[in-house]
């Protein structure tokens, strides 16, 4: 082997080594979890880039994250604290659950029902595109790992749908997660149903894994869903039966949460089988 041939072999080995190291570094960096954009201790400001009015008192707010590839960094089923000012100019802080996940990069969204006397509702009502919202988080006791239960039952009322929707989306959009999701969603009127198009989309796209039953206190004519308040019989029919590998989640107005806890206890669901957001 002459000198020139030996140098060519050495050069080829060096190039191969560089390629191997670069490839390994790429895969390592791509597998590292992205750093979230929120801080559990300090408020950070996020710009409102789009406000979409969904009804007379409901709007969807899209906030930009620091970069187009940034993620919010919110674990499944947890929430953020939003800070604003009420009609008297007093500071108010209230928890909200985004309807987006960390698979939605560059932004996060909140669907907000604005009540006439709501202190934080005033702040959201007055917000315009280009304004900033102060946010802190994540917050919450809920912890989820794919496959930790075989099925979730969900009892939601009004704006209590947002954590349920977030959890359901995370489960159903994960092809490795086979968990079943059974949702009972209660409202006063048809127009009060939040995220109906998105919820119906989950039912259409995941017919074997996601089931929804709507309940209205004041239903329109020709309504085929539930009528009145959520009953023990509805829970028996539309939620998984008590078992060690299921969990029933509930989130709604305080009177509903109290009533649902009573129903679940009477039906034999232990405290370990229940979780309230």
SS3 120: helix
Per the residue annotation, which of 185, 211, 251, 269 is the catalytic one? 251
Sheet containing 274-276: which strands, arranged edge to edge? Answer: 226-227, 210-216, 180-187, 151-157, 246-251, 274-276
Active site residue 239: no
Give yes or no: 79 in active site.
Answer: yes
Known active-site residue 182:
no
Active-site residue among 82, 97, 144, 269?
97
Question: Looking only at Cα atoms, what is the longest distance across the chain?
Answer: 93
Q: What is the DSSP string of 134-181?
A: EEEEEE-S----TTSSSEEEEEEEGGGHHHHHHHHHHHHT-TT---EE
CA 134, CA 8: separation in Å to the nearest integer?
60
Look at residue 101 and give its three-state secondary structure.
Answer: coil
Contact 45, 132 (CB under 8 A): yes
Point out the catalytic residue in the list 96, 185, 214, 269. Answer: 96
Angle, CA 229 vertex, CA 184 and CA 141 arms, to 5°: 50
Q: Which of 79, 123, 211, 238 is catalytic?
A: 79
Q: Is 96 a catalytic residue?
A: yes
Query: Which positions ≥6 away from 2 have C-beta within 8 Å?
Result: none
Rounded distance between C-alpha atoms, residue 74 and residue 276, angstroms = 18
Q: In what order do the strands lie in the sheet with 58-64?
A: 91-96, 79-85, 132-139, 44-53, 58-64, 107-113
Of 237, 158, 168, the residue nearest 205 (C-alpha)? 168
Active site residues: 79, 96-97, 251
């Amino acid at each position: 082997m002459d000198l020139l041939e030996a140098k060519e072999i050495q050069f080829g080995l060096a190039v191969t080594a560089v390629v191997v190291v670069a490839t390994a570094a790429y895969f390592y960096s791509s597998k590292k979890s992205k750093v979230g954009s929120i801080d559990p201790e300090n408020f950070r400001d996020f710009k409102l880039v789009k406000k979409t009015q969904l009804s007379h008192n409901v709007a969807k707010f899209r906030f930009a994250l620091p970069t187009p590839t940034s993620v919010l960094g919110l674990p499944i089923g947890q929430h953020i604290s939003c800070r604003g000012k009420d009609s008297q100019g007093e500071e108010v802080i209230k928890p909200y659950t985004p309807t987006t996940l960390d698979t939605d990069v560059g932004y996060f969204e909140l669907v907000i029902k604005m009540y006439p006397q709501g202190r934080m509702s005033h702040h959201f009502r007055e917000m315009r595109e280009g304004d900033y919202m102060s946010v802190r988080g994540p917050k919450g006791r809920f912890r989820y790992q794919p496959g930790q239960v075989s099925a979730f039952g969900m009892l939601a009322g009004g704006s209590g749908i947002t954590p349920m929707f977030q959890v359901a989306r995370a489960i159903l959009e994960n092809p490795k997660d086979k968990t079943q999701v059974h949702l009972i969603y209660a409202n006063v009127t048809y127009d009060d149903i939040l995220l109906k198009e998105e919820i119906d989309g989950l039912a259409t796209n995941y017919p074997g894994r996601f089931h929804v039953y709507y309940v209205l206190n004041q239903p329109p004519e020709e309504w085929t869903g539930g009528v009145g308040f959520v009953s023990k019989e509805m829970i028996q029919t539309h939620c998984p039966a008590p078992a060690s590998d299921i969990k029933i989640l509930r989130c709604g107005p305080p009177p509903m949460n109290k009533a649902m806890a009573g129903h679940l206890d009477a039906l034999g669901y232990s405290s370990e089988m229940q979780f309230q957001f």
